[in-house]
Amino acid sequence: MTMNRTHEMVSRLKSLQASTPDIEASAVVSVDGLIMASALPNDVEEDRVSAMSAAMLSLGERIAIELGRGTLDQVFIRGEHGYVLLMAVGTEAVLTALARKEAKLGLVFLDMRRTAAELARFV
Amino acid sequence: MPTVKMVISGAVNAGKSEFIKTISEIEVVSTERKATDETSLIKKETTVAMDFGRIAIADDLILHLFGTPGQKRFDFMWEILSEGMLGLIIMVDSTRPDTFRETIRIIDFFNSYRETPYVVAANKQDMENAWSPEEIRLALRLPKAIKVIPCTARDKQQVKNVLLELLYSVLAAAEE
């Protein structure tokens, strides 16, 4: 991947976080679990987040189909301290976002979807 | 009917997914995705979460088979999938000695996590350049008590044989 593409993706992630401050961190990951671009805090281990995102998305896709819910739209995880949200970027990547627990999810999803559509051009 | 959980692990491209597909009586739950790392040099797709298959052994025992991803970055799945397992199969690509070191690391990972009876399946024995089970035992520095079973993951009978050998090892360990 060229630096330029990575750079473009990182700038999309940064503008996602700027326009939706409820999103604290975000990353684009290949479907086999490798980091493509990220705007994550320093204490987050990129490699693990990437692999986990890919595993989670694949299970989500599989279970949605298996249980007759059709194509997966998003994976939504709520923890005590906030959310982990996953969305496919085209067919070969995943957008992962961490949101704080007060986040307005409607807005977060809307912005994530827009960003995913933009990112799909670079993957 | 009692069900027993078995985990199939091993390095990338050892034949874990194929092993489960060969023997499962249900459609395998698989999570293969396009490979973009060095794995893509040897195969198009790779498991990113797990494989799940099921087979009834005799009339009164059901095996649940969970296959892991091979890459180290998915080691959290190794941990998750090994929860509650009774036995472990370590698959080895007998034609790729360059993966033996990684195989040792995977065995160590599972052993340090919890002591579970395991066997080593020396896969791809139908290939000309395959190392013999004895050579693989030496290369992996396996203790005498650990069985190294030759197999070809495409062959149902041989896969079944590996599962039976593992069951015997599990039973023997239970009697100790």
Q: ipTM score of the complex?
A: 0.85
Residues of chain A contacting B76 with CB distance shorter than 8 Å: 48, 51-52, 55
CA distances from A71 to A87, A110, B22, B23, B143 (A): 12, 18, 27, 28, 48
Query: In the predicted model, is pLDDT for residue B175 greater than 90?
Result: no
CA distances from A97 to A18, A103, A121, B116 (A): 13, 12, 19, 37
Query: In the predicted model, is pLDDT for residue B60 greater than 90?
Result: no
Lowest mean pLDDT among B92-96, B114-118, B135-139: B114-118
**pTM recorded for the entire structure:** 0.91
Structure tokens at B39: 């794995």
Does A30 touch chain B if contact means CB atoms closer than 8 Å? yes
Query: In the predicted model, is pLDDT for residue B123 greater than 60?
Result: yes
pLDDT at A61: 94
Residues of chain B contacting A54 with CB distance shorter than 8 Å: 33, 48-49
Confidence of residue B58 (pLDDT cuts 50, 70, 90): confident
pLDDT at A1: 53
Class in CATH terms, B3-175: alpha beta
Closest residue in chain A to residue B69, using alpha carbons only: A55
* Alpha carbon B59 to its chain's center: 24
- At position B49, the amino acid (one-letter code) is A
Does A55 touch chain B if contact means CB atoms closer than 8 Å? yes
pLDDT at A2: 62
Query: In the predicted model, is pLDDT for residue B167 greater than 70?
Result: yes
pLDDT at B1: 75
Query: In the predicted model, is pLDDT for residue B176 greater than 90?
Result: no
The 10s digit of each residue's pLDDT in B31-48 is 999 999 999 999 999 999
Number of Cβ pairs < 8 A linking chain A and chain B: 56
Task: Name the CATH architecture for the domain at A3-119.
Answer: 2-Layer Sandwich (3.30)
Of B34, B39, B76, which is closest to A31 when you measure between CB atoms? B34
Q: Which of residues 10-39 of B touch A (CB under 8 A)?
A: 29-31, 33-37, 39
Of B33, B35, B71, which is closest to A58 when you measure between CB atoms? B33
B36·A50 Cβ contact <8 A: no
10-residue mean pLDDT series, chain A (123 residues): 83 96 96 94 89 96 94 95 96 96 96 96 90
Structure tokens at B115: 């002591």
Q: What value does the mean pLDDT of chain B take?
A: 95
Structure tokens at A16: 């996602």
